[in-house]
Amino acid sequence: MDAGAITATGLRSVAAPRNQPLSIRATRAPDTERADEASMVEPVSPTGRLMDSFYIVVTIGLGTPVNVPACRAGVEAQLARHPRFCSIQVTDGSEDGNPHWVPATVNLDDHIVIPGLDPAAVAADPDRAVEDYVASLSTLPMDRSRPLWEFHVLDFPTSEAASTVALRVHHSLGDGMALLTLLIACTRSAADPARLPAMPPPPAREGPIYARARPPASAGFRALAAWLWSYAVLAWHTVADVVAFVATVLFVSDPHTLFKRTVMSEGNNKVHRKRFVHTTLSLDDVKLVKNAMKCTVNDVLVGVTSAALSQYYFRESGDADTRKLICLRSVLLVNLRPPASLQKVAEMIESGKSKEVKWGNKLGFIILPFHIAMHDDPLEYVRTAKKTVDRKKSSLEVLFTHAIGEMVLKFCGLKVAATIFGRMIAHTTISFSNMVGPGEQVEFCGHPVAFLAPSVYGPPEALTVHYQSYSNTIKVILAVDEARFACSKLLDDFAGSLRRIRDAAKLLQ
């Protein structure tokens, strides 16, 4: 089933899309009286402006058929009350006008979409029908005259869920972590629907080198010298990373492999339909490797990604030289805002005021090397990942890349900043992220949630890798150019790589 076989009731943006911020003056709508006054004049964040063509898609599997009235009531009472979800972007009409958020009327009929799908296609392969429909969203614009979010209801069973809901949100409304926190704040514990879900405790943070406490005088000269040396290392690593970032923007590009889109030849403005596929991994397996290797969950996931892509590359490319080492790079977007608790976000939704919680997009970038190689020892992927990630922790790269982006946007304008941002992504190979979800089963608008699968489209890359934990599982979600990848094989490589790494880690215990 292709995008042409899909129709959607209420999705009027297909017929009359608006792709730019409106050049109008908007007045306060009756149902937004409780939005805080600052939202009337709050500008779209610089990072949000850079991500004007980026969208977040969250596929949510539900354990029961969709009760549309209950879903509608829950969205109206919670998500639609958030200041960003009841605002639109408005400019002053000039060419360089800066967009601002202003309140707007929310008509849920425009935002809750119940598509009409081909019954024969759904009956033949419901999993494929969901996958095809969500993929079609990556080619459909959103109407800028309305708040930039939609819920798409696919009320039929698949192999993983009794029904599916797909949330599409424009990236300017907030970064991925902020939007995920907001979504989780709209859920409740399945064990006790009266309370918010329990989140895993944050890991004990060692902190970057520059945050290490000065040793007491009693520790001696060597301890003081080591402390001072750590700052010298920090400065050196930061300079090296910033120089590498500038070189990446100007001329340093990853070698062309089957993972990399040839952006320059295909055109930066071409719309590439993305397919969103996912598989479930065991969080217990990941933690087993973490404990055996004395590393972090993120180290394990970076290692699994490197192992999976290595398996896929050497099998699918036909490259028989398995002794070679191919150095590629991924872009990690790092949220620089302090994390907000679910309780504070829930209170923000209740009050309709955003002052209590910092919101928007405040992101820095890390260019993280990874390797395509065939190792006899599966644990070598995790060792290499840990070494690489530890090296990046002793750098202020993320702060400098954020500052560079802000300065370029302020002094050179949006077009120059967007060009720099696009070249950085185009010269690397993949985007990578890892987000933590609830540590228990949750309910959304009274519906038990079977899985969460967030992803993104818009970046000029052929492959984006996301990990999302939920209860005792981790979803690996891939956003891929659908014509370039054998999706089922690539997902199997992720699952198989974790199994091999887990089995090797068991021998260390």
- Which of 171, 272, 371, 402 is the catalytic position? 171
| Mean pLDDT of each 10-residue bin along the chain, 509 residues long | 39 41 42 42 77 92 96 90 88 69 90 93 96 94 91 96 96 85 90 90 58 74 85 92 93 90 50 89 96 94 96 91 89 75 71 63 84 94 95 90 85 85 88 91 95 91 93 95 90 97 92
Q: What is the DSSP string of 254-297?
A: PPP-TTS--HHHH-TT----EEEEEEEEEHHHHHHHHHHHT--H
Q: Is 171 a catalytic residue?
A: yes
The token duo for 471 is 């209860």
Which secondary-structure segment (H or E) carries 331?
strand 326-335
What amino acid occupies position 242?
V
Instruction: List C-alpha distances in Å: 108 to 79, 121, 141, 150, 346.
Output: 11, 28, 18, 9, 21
Whole-angstrom distance between the N-terminal and C-terminal Cα of the chain?
49
Please give the Cα distance from 365 to 22 (Å, whole number): 29
- What pLDDT sits at residue 135? 95
Secondary-structure breakdown of the chain: helix, strand, coil percentages, each rounded to the nearest 5: 40, 20, 35
- What pLDDT sits at residue 240? 95
pTM of the model: 0.87
Please give the Cα distance from 55 to 148 (Å, whole number): 10
Burial of 337 (0-12, 13-18, 19+ CB in 10 A): middle
Provide the pairing of β-strand 326-335 with 363-372.
Answer: antiparallel
